[in-house]
Amino acid sequence: MRENPLVLHVLGARPNFPKAAPVVRALDSLGIRQGIVHTGQHYDALMSDVFFADLGLPEPVANLGVGSGTHAKQTAALLVGLEEVVEEHAPDLVMVYGDVNSTLAAILVCAKLGVPTAHVEAGLRSFDRSMPEEVNRIVTDSLSDLLFATSPDALSYLAAEGVDPRRVHLVGNPMIDSLYTALPKLDPAPVVGRLGLPARYAVATLHRPANVDSPEAARELVDAVLAVAEQIPLVIPIHPRGRTRLAEAGLVSSESVLVVDPLGYVDFLSLVRGASLVVTDSGGVQEESTILGVPCLTVRPNTERPITVTHGTNRLVTPASLPAAAAKALADGAAIPAEELPVLWDGQAGPRIARVVSAWLKGDNLAPAAHASVQP
């Protein structure tokens, strides 16, 4: 290992940024040289650029601007662009986050070039391989040199897949670190006022392929969402990938539904903090609502984050059951999370990850997940 090793962080989509920010800060505090590679998988300013400002991330050393496209076309462009960046910068470690195509491409490039990698948010499984994200998770975890798990269930899944426990470290959830850091700034009033919302409202985020890619699924989902809007005014920041399909299925702004562009990190979480209910198919929102104590209905048959159901405020629903589930959640009032939050969701995941990375860069022997790495 070089005397002044370099760590590159590959970020490409909105969920990556709040996961990476605490790690970048913690590594910086240890004096470790770093760079961010922005692949541009999410290329809209409201889906990426605003997150750099909201989360205090440094300017990227490279921006590939790959944009959207089919999974094959996007992944191919990512492979070509990332290979050039990795060869140019010659990092000692490449860190990837979550389960997006940028993560998959970076892992494949580094595996071919012999560059060590670390996966933050390793071991999550929905056991649904029809989800592109599930395929990305499995491939990424099988090739990573360091695997950072956010919850204990991930350890058992990785063990069942034969992953060497010496590579795995239970560190907590860095996305929750970002949430705790932002908490003093999460004031619903400004964004509620700007959007003209009433005091009592619900928020929805919907973008999963299974929900929006086919006209039939999109129509079923929109009908269910409109039924929820009959119970409470609903604001929906629309992800670009589902905007046209949902509009074609009948989702337009009305007296009870407000469709808006994607919001920045602070604005969106402020909106969620003040909501009476969240309807989503996003993974991260399930986690954030657990901490914020907002009832969350996840329109999916499964979740790779079951800990949000057992410890938090989350419930899995189908489009058909969504209106009744919303009525119950609204009648029950504010959700109360379990007395104990998930293990190590304490705002210190970033420093834990940084300590492991620092030790690894120095060539120190690392304790397996079930031992030293679970300590604060």
Residue pLDDT tens, the chain, 376 long? 678 999 999 998 888 999 999 999 999 999 999 999 999 865 555 446 777 888 999 999 999 987 777 888 989 999 999 999 999 999 999 999 999 999 999 999 999 999 999 999 999 999 999 999 999 999 999 999 999 999 999 999 999 999 999 999 999 999 999 999 999 999 999 999 999 999 999 999 998 888 888 899 999 999 999 999 999 999 999 866 667 788 889 998 888 999 998 899 999 999 999 999 999 999 999 999 999 999 999 999 999 999 999 887 899 999 999 999 999 999 998 777 667 789 999 999 999 999 999 999 999 866 554 433 443 4
Phi, psi of 147 (to 5 degrees): -125, 120
Nearest to 195 by CA among 276, 257, 251: 257
Do the beta carbons of residue 311 and residue 303 sit within 8 Å? no
Q: Which CATH number fits domain 6-173+344-374: 3.40.50.1700, 3.40.50.2000, 2.40.180.10, 3.40.50.300?
A: 3.40.50.2000
Give the separation between CA 335 and CA 248, rounded to whole angstroms.
34
Phi, psi of 237 (to 5 degrees): -70, 120
pLDDT at 371: 38
| Strand, helix or coil for residue 319 | coil
Give the separation between CA 262 and CA 236, rounded to whole angstroms.
9
Catalytic residue selected from 9, 38, 42, 207: 207
**Measured distance between the N- and C-terminal CA atoms of the chain, rounded to whole angstroms:** 27
Reply yes or no on whether 207 is catalytic.
yes
Class for the domain spanning 184-332: alpha beta
| Strand, helix or coil for residue 279 | strand
pLDDT at 51: 79
> Which residues make up the CATH 3.40.50.2000 domain(s) of the chain?
6-173+344-374, 184-332
pLDDT at 372: 36
pLDDT at 353: 98
Q: What is the model's pTM?
A: 0.93
